[in-house]
Structure 1
Amino acid sequence: MDSNKIYHHGWDLTYAEYVSKFVYVARKRCWQPRKQGNTIGRLIWVSPSSGELFYMRMMFSSTKGSQSYKDIRTVENVVYHTFREACFGKGFLGSDQEFVGALREANTWGTPHFVRKLFVKLLFMNTMDRPEYVWKQTWQWMANDIAFNHRRQANRKSLRDFPSMTYPIGYAANPHRNKLIYNEMAYDKEILAAEFNKCYHSLIDEQTSIFYKIMRVVASQLGGVYFLYGYGGTGKTFI
């Protein structure tokens, strides 16, 4: 962008094409017109989940001669507030109607709970260009069971309101709000300790060596990747 303010050579070049006419001078930390040779440029990969950075990279593929971020967000003399909106202005992003249709079809035979899970999976896959648009079109289908579940509550009472009743300690008080994390942490330390002691004394020398090698890395938090292999019956599952 700074070089485009000085040289007009780059006004008809995209970000990736810039290296074909310019060279980066590390000593001066600037781009200068290339005197000889040629280089093919490329754009590094950016995950769709990185937000605005992903959409800015998308704009780099067609924007030429930008002298500021505002120029990158400008499409046909219209300045958009975000790179994502600029991508819509360029026509790079779709309307997401296919996802609305998929949720509509799921609603015809699935429960609201299933529709919610499907919407969450679509979010995790980063396949929707406008998730908020899809949400506005489909949220009623995901909320159909809220009133029903509310009516099932015992007159807005809790087991805590009845001193003689025991109150379940567990997932309801789970600070992680994540079932996977809760399931991983919901273990009995005493039972596991007894099981470990029993198994540990059954290890042969080679298995003991493997155990200590990995546990030293775990204890020191150094990290690492290990591949345990062997013929059938050698104790891979046991170790």
Structure 2
Amino acid sequence: MRMLLTHKRGPKSFENLRMVDGVLYGTYREAIKAMGLLKDEETRKQSILEIINYTNDRKELRSTYASMLVFSDLKDQKDIWEETKDLFSSDFLYLRGLKDYNDEIYLDALDDIQEQVFNCGGGNIVHYGLPSSRNGEKSSNVIRREKAYNSKELSETVERALPLLNREQKICYDKIIESVGCETENKSKAFFLNAPGGTGKSFLLNLLRHSSFEE
């Protein structure tokens, strides 16, 4: 749509925006293709191949490619991926100490591309025609870090800390934990903890954070 709005003068409606030489196209992409605005698809492919040939840092390569996916409206990348996946994945081959490529190596590269796409504000890489990564929309480093906890250690921390709560802290703790674990109540809630400095707010908040992990 952005490309059409840039190149078409005086569109009167969304439907009119998709009309080219009297023909109404079903999608904006079909319309811009009819206008000849996608002639640079091959140029983009060549750009990707040039980046691969001139970039020894594969992490940087995947990051650049992710930016192109998000900001350059690249679609239908299956052919490019099949043609270049060894080059996108070569550092993972070395890190795993292998001589031959396999699906796990390619998934390592796809996971990294997916993460870089998320970092650029994009969505699932399957929308760009690439194969799915291992975790799809859950492969962000942030999410992986948040889930990298030891349940046993957290449980032990909670057991040690609970007896140390004073009466007011215990009331807050019980109320919030009860709300988090309530499956019958669909309403969202927010709790505001207000107390003078040095009264144990951080201690209570850390305990709540340790208590709310998933088994």
Higher CA-based Rg:
1
Which structure has more helix as a fraction of its residues?
Answer: 2
Structure number with greater CO (CA < 8 Å, separation at least 6) is: 2
